[in-house]
Structure 1
Amino acid sequence: MAGGHGFSGAGRALGRLVGPRVKWLVVVVAVLVSAAAFAFAGEPKAVSTTAASLPASAEAAQVTALREKLPSSGVTPAIVVYRAASGAVDTQAVEASGDRGIAAVKQWAPSAAAAGGAPTTAIPPQVSQDKSTALVIVPLKADLPDGANSEAVTALRAAVRDGLPQGLTATVTGGPAFGADIGAVFDGADIKLLGATAGVVAILLLITYRSPWLWLVPLSVVGTGDQVASKALAALSRFTEVSADGAVTGITSVLVFGAGTNYALLIIARYREELRRTEDRHEAMRAALGSAAPAILASGGTVVLALLSLGFADDPFAQSLGYAGAMGIAIALAYALLVLPAAMVLFGRRLFWPFVPRVGTSDPSHAGVWRRVGDVVTGRPVVVGLAAVAVLVTLALGGLGLSVGQSPNEQFLEKPEAVVGQEQLAAAFPAGTSEPATIIAKASAAEAVTTAAQGVEGVQEVRKAGGGGGGDLVELSAVLAAAPGTTQAFDQVRALRTAVHDVPGANALVGGSDAEALDARTTTERDRLVLFPLILGIVVLVLLLLLRSVVAAVVLVTTVVATYVASMGASWFAFQHLLDYPPLDVSTPLLAFLFLVALGVDYNIFLTTRAREEAAGGAHAREAIVSALAVTGGVITSAGILLAAVFAVLGVLPLVQLAQIGVIVGFGVLLDTLLVRSVLVPAVVSLLGERFWWPSHPADR
């Protein structure tokens, strides 16, 4: 039996839940638990558009915390950009429009006292040097939940456009507008993702099983598990700091659907195999679970532990995704190992119609295409192995020049109004006008800090912001020449920080959107240094416990890391030359590494645990890996294609980060399934022979 004693014991214990009477109890309990989750989980905690996205230790986060102590706290500016089709803007029309805009958002606007003197009537517009563009700032409450913020921005956009003369356009941008446009991306996203994912899974299951109804059982079980995970995440968000925003919910759903379906495919494949040996379907499922459960538990445990390791990240988004994803995978495991086997045996062999497995019939996989692939690979392992390595190296070279860091304008696949407004501002005003840097310092050093900031190259203007300050603190606003989110903007933030930090006794700190983006980049760089080796260590540990082989663990981990590097290279080449995508989001390399290493090792676990079973029966390492490839090749290939397709579904949401994660992970899973697992690993095992299992000897068991 493959795996450690704990994994094997769990497989035998699970087999007791598919007896003639127990199976009904399992299904009924699953229905009741699922119904309770749907009925009592409630809605997720509302998330403010200004929710912390950085660790408290980051300088930009410290600035945000200090601003809350100032009279101007609780204020965030929406910016209305007016642009004339020709000639100069009509300032009277702009002022009238600004009055309408402020009147429309009165219920979402701060009071004058809370805003540190922010006006409740239109601010005189700022007009560009060429007179073609003007802007009006409309203060909104900074702590509005997503829904209220979206309502405020929608009302503002409608009001400022009402009654504009022909040839004058109004566009709303700024932080609240970006928050509303990002929120619009996820409007109905759960339904869209669920529909697209379920559709993809249904089609692929129908193709895999060629049965008019077999696919309905795993799809129903996994789909129910996905919805239970979604409800559990909503409940978790209300009692913890875990966010249940659209990105976390969407990625978690993809993980649950993809992993759950993979586990279902493996169980059903082993069940069908056992039905050719055993007349009693309950005994067949017990045997199938005894063989498949250790690999599935090891695989799922690897993913859960790797996701939980994100709890050591400083990035709050990564932390939320880690906890949410780990909970989702645990639920997927429960539904796959507890509910699916019981549901399958309810219907008996007729569920596989028209290809019903009969006792005594031979398994066609033993002499199928994957048996022939195994013979070819192990017949010339050096040539085939080197060819596979050459493919991986070639793909990896596509990552030369890989760039990380998206500006706010680059995060959408479809350009929303907030981005259009930013571009109009950048064309008419200093690039940093809409997103100035924020400086918080001791009030007694305000003049010295202002002088130091004005001396920094690229700083266009320094002025008091909002109410100017309060108590012993002062808030300054510094307009940068560089466009927000660019390398030049980060350089100017670094220079600005250096300058104000050097002012004696000022205790000056620099925040703002560019400072937040810079700190986010620094945070994710730190997270990669910590989490890459931690995730690899988790994977190695699980492989050692499962296979009891140091050599096998090192080989398999090396192959999945190679898959990650190759997938990143190939995807970056595609982003730059085929899809015209911007640089990667700062969190994408870490998330892609996590998914490809933790999920990619699944297929190697499924292959090598089966090979260990064959070796325990006396087969030589070469014959063991060929036999394992022959019987698992079809199901693992189906699982890999399905998982890649499920990740590709992330592209239905028009956010660049999710689309990039979908491409990188989807391609990496296909690469791992079709090349690494089916060609490279068998070639390496054939070359190493019995040394692959060192220091254990499977045949001794």
Structure 2
Amino acid sequence: MFHRLGHFVVRRAWWVIAAWVVAMIAIAASAPKITAQTDEASFLPKHYESIQASVLQEKAFPASFTPSALALFERNDGAPMDASDKDAMAKIVQGLTDKKIEHVEKIIPAGEQSTSKDGKYALAPIAIDKATQQSDEFGETAKKLRDEGKALASGTNVKFQLGGAAAQALDQKESSGAADAVIALATLVLVVIIVGIIFRSVLAGLLPIVVSLIIAMPAANGLIAYATKAFNLESTPVLSAILIVVVLGVGTDYFLFLAFRYRERLRAGDDRKEAVANAVGRVGEAIASAAGAVTVAFAVLILSSLGMFKALGPALAIAVVVTAFASLTLAPALLAVIPARAVFWPGKKWMNEPKDARFLALGRMVQKRPALVAVASGGVLLALSAGALGYNGTFDLAGSSMPKDKESMVVQDKLVNGFSAGAADPSHVYLTSKSGGKLDPAAFDGYAAKLGAVPGVASAAPKPQVSEDGTTADFTVLLKNEPSSNEAIETLTELRDVAHAQVPSGTEAKVGGLTAVYKDINLAMSHDYKLVFPIAGLLILLILGLQLRSVVAPWYLMASVGLGFTATLGSSTLLFQNIKGEHGIMFMLPILIYLFVVAIGTDYNILIIARLREEAREGRSPREAAREALRHGGPTVAAAGFILAASFGTFMLAGNIFMLEFGFAMAFGIILAAFVMAMFFTPALTALVGRAAWWPGHGGDPGAGHDGHAPVGGPHGAHGLPETAGRR
């Protein structure tokens, strides 16, 4: 099938190129505009208590509001504020109110209750129209408030700073845009330089950019926008940066698979067009299988409880499919119309067969001592995996996704220092009558006292706000710890237990607020780990079984990739928690590690294991097959793994904690997948298992074809099995 595809592309190369350009422009130009979600609560299903509490608040207290922004006042010299400073604050708040900034509904003047105990800080809560929270207008409103507030504070002794959700959305967007630019530029430069060095060519380094970034990326973005709108999916701010690296990194991998084999066929004597067609025929199945594994791993995220992953999974799956299709059609078409000497210019030895002495030496080592290699490489993975036992997840997504010097983060830190750490985002316990009758106020004091006695609670308001119909009461609860901290989430767990167990007769309670949202995200993640991981693993296992026609090899391949996951998580935990001293790493990191490392790690295993099978079918013993697979497939895996790891490593340049953790984890996971699993662990295990690795197929029977009969030569190589790594 892939050989026929190769000949089709070669015969109609210019038509294929034109079709891709026209399709890309049409899709990108007509795609709907999608706004990323920044509200954590919007990613949770409605059956979680925090969401139910939010709905109850809107129904019972339509006039009340959770501040969308917080104006923080302090003296320029850091001293406690005096009467003249308080007058200045009042004038600033009134000035902002008089500006009638669009979407600003209410600004509450800073009073005694909103002044810190040391008198250095004062807060003015600001309500912004909730309808703008999932649009660009939310951040734009914060920008207007921030600019106008600073202008009004100019010439006074008072400093005006804006924090809260709207300010965080604004700062996060600005940080994300800068981070995306840094990541895109760094990734692009890395790909051009590294691919250029590998092939000693200028044009070879630019072709992956043309295929992936210039053509596939806009087309994928457009299709993602269509799918997001058609299926009412969420969109997440982290998608754009991840998408850049996935499309360019995976696209470069697939280009390398094709280019190595294209160069090999030229060395074997094929003319340019026949070399392209044969290259597609020989690596097509490997690219399709590798892309299938990655696509499945991402697509399974649609089963997640969290909208964040529901958004990320399908989007990345679409991007991988588009990139793979471009790699199998557009890239060969470009190679078919560009003279080979131009592709590999200015290199002069590209037609000479290199000796690959280093990879031959690795192959001989695995051939002679497969047990030692398996134990050593497996031991490294197990040792690193031990670090995962100390993993601790954190939920401060806003604080982790932008630099600490951003104004909203500075405000957040000052709130922690000047007020109760939970004052910026209090929790709320909503007490409701089951019968629809009015609540008895006599029970309020006792109930509030029980809530306030929960360890980790700073205070619980004894006199709650009561709805107009008297059926619902809102008890404001301040926690001692910052709302997104694990300590606050643990307190929230016990607060819920007490709130539910100690309700007055005939009532029920719902606990809401930001900390309650994080608690429910934690519960949703636990659900996803039990559902998404196994389903993704089983589907990838099925793809491996179909690719290898075996029920034995896929199991130890998946076991090795599973070790790669735990080793990556363990390494990240050791680095950021034990060495760097962070109290935890981002809660979403394990599932991202699992999906990226399992999927892409399987790609490299597919390349090596398919070459092992091919060498075994040509009559070599299992140990000889391991030697030859590393000799010929090793350079491809090493080049692809190095480029993808370097691409993910660019995330560490983004300047925030989440990108630093994500970049390190992905880069290190890819290094483990390519240079430990694919280079050592997988071929050593296959050499030890022997011909049984291919049962019930005939992969290990010398001279056996797919049906057990003698093979015939053909465009797909010996036995019709597509080769997966070029002989260099």
**Could you tell me the TM-score, scaled by structure 2's length?**
0.88
Aligned to 2:293: 302
Secondary structure of the residue aligned to 2:541 is: helix
Greater CA deviation, 606-615 or 309-318?
Answer: 606-615
- What's 2:171 paired with? 181
Distance 1:451 1:100 in 2: 42
Deviation string 1:329-369 (CA, Å, 9 cap, x unpaired) is 010111001111111111132122344688xx66325x532
- Taking a change above 3 Å as real, the CA distance of residues 657 and 336 of structure 1, as seen in their structure-2 partners, is same
Specify the alignment match of 1:388 in structure 2: 377
CA contact (8 A) 1:74 1:141 kept: no
Partner in structure 2 of residue 510 of structure 1: 511
CA distance in 1, matches of 2:108, 2:600: 56
1:141 is matched with: 129
Which stretch shifts more, 195-204 or 323-332? 195-204
List aligned pairs for 1:108-119, cutoff 5 A.
Answer: 108-110=103-105
AA aligned opposite 1:157: R
Provide the secondary structure at the position in 2 that maps to 1:246.
Answer: coil
| Corresponding position: 1:122 with 2:109 | yes
CA contact (8 A) 2:31 2:226 kept: yes
Aligned counterpart, 1:114: none
Larger displacement relative to structure 2 (240-249 or 628-637): 240-249
Indicate the residue corresponding to 1:370 in structure 2: 359
Does 1:423 pair with 2:423?
Answer: no
Residue 186 of structure 2 is matched in structure 1 by 196
C-alpha separation in 1, matches of 2:255 and 2:448: 61
Tell me how far apart the structure 1 counterparts of residues 444 and 293 of structure 2 sit (CA, whole Å). 51
CA contact (8 A) 1:388 1:675 kept: yes
Aligned equivalents of 2:254 and 2:397: distance in 1?
A: 38
Q: Who is 1:411 aligned against?
A: 400
* Map of 1:460 onto structure 2: 459
Q: CA deviation at 1:554?
A: 1.2
CA 1:16/1:409 → structure 2, altered by over 3 Å: closer, same or farther? closer
Q: Structure 1 residues 177, 469: closer, same or farther in 2, change over 3 A? A: farther
Read off the aligned partner of 1:491 and give its amino acid letter. Answer: E
Q: Greater CA deviation, 399-408 or 538-547? A: 399-408
CA deviation profile, 1:52-98 (whole Å, cap 9, x unmatched): 02121111111223333342377634222222412344322222222
Map 1:585-600 onto structure 2 (within 5 A): 585-600=586-601
2:615 aligned residue:
614
Amino acid at match of 1:139: A
Distance 1:29 1:97 in 2: 59
Shift of 1:237: 2.9
CA gap of 1:299–1:446, structure 2 versus 1, over 3 A, is farther
**Alpha-carbon shift at residue 441 of structure 1 (Å):** 3.3
Residue by residue, what CA displacement relative to the aligned partner does 1:565-589 show, whole Å, maximum 9, x if unpaired? 1121122222135545452221110
Superposition pairs for residues 656-695 of structure 1, below 5 Å?
656-695=657-696
CA distance in 1, matches of 2:241, 2:401: 16
Aligned length: 680
Partner in structure 2 of residue 353 of structure 1: 345
For structure 1, which segment, 227-236 or 594-603, has the greater mean C-alpha deviation from structure 2 after superposition? 227-236
Residue in structure 2 matching 1:106, options 95, 101, 105: 101
Q: CA deviation at 1:135?
A: 1.5
Match of 1:445 in 2: 439
2:423 maps to which of 424, 433, 452: 433
In terms of mean alpha carbon deviation, does 421-430 or 28-37 score higher? 421-430
Of the structure 1 ranges 488-497 and 375-384, higher mean CA displacement relative to structure 2 is found in 488-497
User: Following the alignment from structure 2 to structure 1, what is the Cα–Cα distance between the partners of residues 450 and 517?
Assistant: 22
TM-score, normalisation: structure 1: 0.91
Cross-structure match for 2:91: 96
**Residue of structure 2 in register with 1:5 after alignment:** none
Partner of 1:685, secondary structure, is: helix
8 Å Cα contact 2:93/2:107 also seen in 1: no
Query: Identity, % of aligned pairs?
Result: 27
Which residue does 1:154 correspond to in 2?
143
Matched, 1:312 2:303: yes
SS for the counterpart of 1:244 is coil
Q: Which residue of 1 aligns with 2:476?
A: 477
**CA separation in 2, counterparts of 1:274 and 1:356?**
17
The one-letter amino acid paired with 1:16 is H
| Residue 41 of structure 1, CA deviation | 1.8
2:623 and 2:89 map into 1 onto residues whose CA distance is 78
CA–CA separation in structure 1 for the residues paired with 2:348 and 2:335: 14
Using the TM superposition, give the Cα deviation of residue 165 of structure 1 relative to its aligned residue in structure 2, in angstroms: 6.2
> What is the CA distance between 1:463 and its match in structure 2?
6.6
Equivalent AA in structure 2 for residue 494 of structure 1: T
1:247-293 Cα deviation digits (max 9, x unpaired)? 12221222111111111100111111111223322222222122211
Which residue of structure 1 lines up, in the alignment, with residue 726 of structure 2? none
Separation of aligned partners in 2, 1:477 and 1:556: 53
**1:432–1:480 contact (8 Å) kept in structure 2:** yes
**Partner in structure 2 of residue 563 of structure 1:** 564
Deviates more, 1:146-155 or 1:633-642: 146-155
CA offset digits 1:194-233 (Å, max 9, x no partner): 3232222111111111112222222201112122212222
User: Where does the alignment leave 5 or more consecutive residues of structure 1 unmatched?
Assistant: 1-8, 111-118
Structure 2 gap ranges (5+): 706-728
Partners of 1:508 and 1:304 in 2: how far apart?
A: 43
Cα distance, 1:412–1:310 mapped onto 2, change above 3 Å: closer
Q: By how many angstroms is 1:303 displaced?
A: 0.9
The Cα shift of 1:379 comes to 0.8
CA separation of 1:317 and 1:95: change in aligned 2, threshold 3 A: same
